[in-house]
Amino acid sequence: MSEKFVHHVCIQTNDYRKSLHFYTEILGFELIEETANFHNRYYNSWLRLSSFYIELQTAKIGEDLPHNNPASQGIVHLCLWVKDLAKEVEYIKRMGFQFILKNNQEIYSVENGSLCKLIAPEGTIIELRDNKGI
């Protein structure tokens, strides 16, 4: 079997500017390419974080995308490893984003570390995780 690695996930959004801001300014992805009028979409863009990419695209012109259901089949969340989870949480809170609470806590312990979750503007659940306990 040849070498394999995950290259990207595709995320669709009804509010391109909000999602683009979230992924680039809040989570630190770099905008690599932004293509307007791409296959009947307002935008199709490539964002990079290290060797991982997000293909961020709008719905096709004239469509309105429904919200994701976290209890559905398929990919449930996107997880990013961070060096200092508490510092990332404080930064993201200062930027105006709210976290999904578990047992009334933003950050909680799991096996081999700590994590928290928040919802991106288009509805993608983003998990931030480190390998330290609380």
Residue range 41-69, pLDDT digits in tens: 999 999 999 999 999 999 999 998 887 66
User: Taking 60 as the threshold, does the pLDDT of residue 2 lie above it?
Assistant: yes
Round to whole Å and give the CA distance between 68 and 83.
29
The per-residue pLDDT for 6 is 81
In a domain, 66, yes or no: no
- The average confidence (pLDDT) of the chain is 91
134 pLDDT higher than 60? no
Evaluate whether residue 67 is within a structural domain.
Answer: no
Looking at the domain assignment, is residue 73 inside a domain?
Answer: no
Residue 85 falls within a domain, yes or no? yes
- Domains contained in the chain, number: 2
CATH of residue 85's domain is 3.30.720.110
Residue 39, judged by CB atoms within 10 A of its CB (0-12, 13-18, 19+), counts as exposed
> For residue 127, what is the enclosing H or E element?
strand 125-130
Dihedral sign computed on CA atoms, order 38, 39, 45, 48? negative
Give residue 26's pLDDT: 97
- HSE (side-chain half, CA atoms, 13 Å) at 73: 0
Q: Give pTM, 2 decimals.
A: 0.86
Range of the domain at 44: 8-58
